[in-house]
Amino acid sequence: MPCRDAPGLPVITLFVQSLTALKTEILTIESASKFEQAASRAADLLSSGRLAALPTETVYGLAADAFNAEAVASIYTTKGRPSTNPLIVHVADKSMLLECVREWPEIAEKFSQAFWPGPLTLVLPKSDRISDDITAGLDSVAVRWPGHPFMRAVIKNLGRPIAAPSANLANQLSPTSAEHVQAQLKGRIPLIVDGGAANVGIESTVLDLCGKNPTVLRPGIIHLESLRAVAPNTMHRSAQQSSGAQKSPGLHHKHYAPKARVIILDRSDSSQPNDLINQIRRLGILPAEACVLGLEDLPSPADFLRVCFIPHDPEAYARALYAELFLCDQLGPKWILVEAVPDTPAWEGVRDRLARAAGDE
């Protein structure tokens, strides 16, 4: 994707360590031997009750042994995560899955056959093996069978499910590379496994199967039309307050947010030239204090800290979104201005992340 930074501007790094920082080990998996060594090392750490940041196909996850209550609690402490925000439990086989849920209805089997392993999370009644810390005290648990081979290898080595939210500080940008994890969690956790850039780039679709109809709680790259191919009665959730315990992670109004203020710009009149520039002028925003993520209408990169064109394809956009927001944030802008994406089903996951990045506290 063509992107331009304003010339001569220093890049402000985000690598910050606490005064009592841990030594964070970083392992790569580019060869078969390194893959096996890293999977074994990660499983050993998780088995001892510690945490590790691991690559998945969606975003990097901060992993703990799901059956170790103290380890699960340390996820919340490390991230500064609200106790009302539940965790997703990751499994690698059917027997492990059935340890986590007390019901496995036919509709769950249909969705799992269609989309697992992959970026779909199913919410079902929880078993007694799942602690209230994982579920925010609710009687349901969110479970996923990830598609990333390394995540599956660690789960199999551990022999138990893994609880893993995104490997970031609470409400901040989800990481899609090991570098993004280091920027937020280096010195806070003992291990980061570098598996390259995440292939999907946004968090999984979350589908609630506890009610009468399958209900999308959090949209993702698997959108409503795809889900309705399995169950035509699948629906979107009704409006929900962000206070109190949530059935799914990622439902708070402000989430997935960079440090800069995000503003979404609608192309109100695409027939007018420079419509995006005119909107920016009306808002009184100084270009020198702003980065721009464009889809069709691009201003001159000479006037802004950074201007980036992201492809007009929902899957490509999702892969690029968090990485681009990280790059923008490193330049220290006051504003990140994002051209609105299409209002179609394929874009609903991206629209959700942008809306939450731009949300108020």
Between the alpha carbon of residue 38 and those of residues 26, 150, 209, 346, the distances in Å are 9, 9, 35, 35
pLDDT tens, 152-201? 999 999 999 999 999 999 889 999 999 999 999 999 999 999 999 999 99
CATH 3.90.870.10, domain 25-236, yes or no: yes
Question: What tens digit of pLDDT does each residue of 16-27 get?
Answer: 334 357 899 999
User: What region does 168 belong to: left with phi over 0, alpha with psi -120 to 50, or beta?
Assistant: beta
- Residue 316 to residue 34: CA distance in whole angstroms: 29
Q: How confident is the model at residue 58 (pLDDT cuts 50, 70, 90)?
A: very high
pTM for the model:
0.90
Domain 255-357, what fold? Rossmann fold (3.40.50)
Assess whether pLDDT exceeds 50 at residue 272: yes
Q: What is the pLDDT of residue 328?
A: 95
Task: Give the span between the Cα atoms of 289 and 280, in whole angstroms.
Answer: 12
pLDDT in tens, 314-327: 999 999 999 999 99
Residues of the chain within CATH 3.40.50.11030 domain(s) are 255-357
- Rounded Cα–Cα distance for residues 40 and 125 (Å): 31
- Residues of each domain in the chain carrying CATH 3.90.870.10: 25-236
